[in-house]
Structure 1
């Protein structure tokens, strides 16, 4: 019965994703079938090898894809190194915690040997994030390919990334500007089921929180003590978002119910009247979270993609051709 239900969900997912084949001109599920048929396998094997050695990199790949797509669209701009004339996105304080660049470099190097000038860095990153989600125990899904790489990466653009101090209204507004519904925003926030945040991102909740409270009243008192202990090691000390930092599950939402959301932007999802019910639903039903998450990820992967002459296929993901 369980297998039957899984297959049913998988078929529905295939139908939904297949419907996106022509959602963006030039993108398709089988984009590399003729000119680089082993592209997806090369990326998947590269990701799996890396995550077997260091499971914490799954969070880095998913977050990197998100930070890429929210700025200038899904065009691999987050991968570009700074030069003497330009400070790139990756050197913004908002991106200093991103990890996994070497995985993208490794996959790109193999693909350039196999089929030079064909597979874009933007597609490699999108595929790597998808494969990382599945490796960590999350849903399986497919994505359209054919993105081209952008030629712009500037630190000032990272101002448009969500901040850890945002409340639910801020998040709804920012995600809405990119075409996401409230439900899609809450589902994408569930990517915080993987990984850690640095003390510098949540220490504002531990002292002088506002004119009335020293500690954020939305924070469980025991968890606040845990965070204070973490921060005693300095701003770069790390705290997992939930109790299963390397496993993709719905523990993140259950943590919010216990007032153990790590960032203000996490815990606010339980406080917000438009988001509270969705959090409760995902906490009770992991399958529903998985289903909504994969649909939102496919949609995110189509944000402002570069096609044709609007972009290029970089020979090196770290620099513009």
Structure 2
């Protein structure tokens, strides 16, 4: 799967997003781009059950990797083999990227709508009609309802997202950036014009496997947290 230039997964899949802050506002989950993330309690329940059966063996990072695969499969996407054995990171602060499934908040796109360059303007990469629709929902300052990341198809893993991006109706700045590079723009076009034959599902599985292997902590590196929200 083609990836954007200048996009980096700093430490790979290491469950840092699950950590609570040591100090107020000092956690990855507290970043504005992660305000709409949900399911922490589900991960905690899974971790608790696993710890009772085999304590200190399965990391929170592996739980997330497996849950991501299963969530995509349950929403109609492809499945893939998840290599396990990751360790959890002790602590790291970073921001997550955009997702094609799920929701976000008006706060995340407030600048795109009302102050893109600091001059009270709207991102010109947004379709004007779409921008007007979003402004009816999202008020200046970030107030408003939860928004579907993939408008009309946020619970299904499919190529619909690429059609929206090609029409300049991608919700996030990172969505719009897919059209800025010749390689990613060509990929968007291919997936959006041939949805029946789209290779997105297979490509996504491959990319998840590759991303899951970036900067993997194993052996004596990192730790296997007893509770996913706290370091041991």
Shift of 1:123: 0.5
Distance 1:212-1:96 versus aligned 2 partners, 3 A rule: closer
- The answer to whether the Cα contact below 8 Å between 2:87 and 2:224 also exists between their aligned partners in 1 is yes
Partner of 2:171: 262
Residues 193-218 of structure 1, C-alpha deviation per residue, up to 9 Å, x if partnerless?
31122222223233454599943333
Q: Which residue matches 1:130?
A: 69
Match of 1:118 among 57, 60, 81: 57
Larger relative contact order (CA 8 Å, sep ≥ 6): 2
Matched residue, 1:239: 147
111-120 or 81-90, which moves further after superposition? 81-90
CA RMSD of aligned residues (A): 2.6
Distance in 2 (alpha carbons) for counterparts of 1:80 and 1:214: 36
* Distance change (3 Å), C-alpha of 1:161 and 1:131: closer
Larger radius of gyration: 1
Q: TM-score, normalised by structure 2?
A: 0.84
Residues 1:275 and 2:184 aligned together = yes
**Displacement of 1:289 after TM fit?**
1.1
How has the CA–CA distance of structure 1 residues 227 and 148 changed in structure 2, closer, same or farther, with 3 Å as cutoff? same
- TM-score, structure 1 as length reference: 0.62
What is the Cα deviation at residue 233 of structure 1? 8.2
Please state how far the C-alpha of 1:119 moved relative to its aligned partner.
1.0
Distance 1:318 1:260, change over 3 A: same
The structure carrying a bigger helix percent of its residues is 1
Deviations 1:256-313 (A, max 9, x none): 2222111222123224333211101111344411111110011011111110111222
CA distance in 2, matches of 1:220, 1:150: 40
State the match for 1:13 in structure 2. none
Relative to structure 1, is the Cα distance of residues 84 and 224 closer, same or farther in structure 2, using a 3 angstrom cutoff?
Answer: closer
Question: Aligned runs of 1:270-309 on 2, under 5 Å?
Answer: 270-286=179-195, 287-309=198-220
Distance 1:270 1:146, change over 3 A: same
| Deviation digits for residues 24-58 of structure 1 (CA, Å, limit 9, x no counterpart) | xxxxxxxxxxxxxxxxxxxxxxxxxxxxxxxxxxx
Conserved? CA contact 2:82–2:209, under 8 Å: yes
- CA distance in 1 between counterparts of 2:24 and 2:118 reads 43
Count of residue correspondences:
221
Match of 1:199 in 2: 106
1:84 offset after TM fit, Å? 4.8
Match of residue 64 from structure 1: none
Q: Distance in 1 between matches of 2:127 and 2:199?
A: 27
Structure 2 spans left out of the alignment, 5+ residues: 1-7
Q: Do the aligned partners of 1:151 and 1:311 also contact (CA within 8 Å) in 2?
A: yes
Deviations 1:42-99 (A, max 9, x none): xxxxxxxxxxxxxxxxxxxxxxxxxxx9343322222121235993322233333322
Cα distance change on mapping 1:99 and 1:216 into 2, 3 Å? same
Deviation readout 1:97-145 (Å, 9 max, x if unpaired): 3221111101111111222221111101110111111111111111100
SS at match of 1:193: coil
Q: Distance in 2 between matches of 1:269 and 1:310?
A: 35
Q: Is the partner of 2:220 in helix, strand or coil?
A: helix
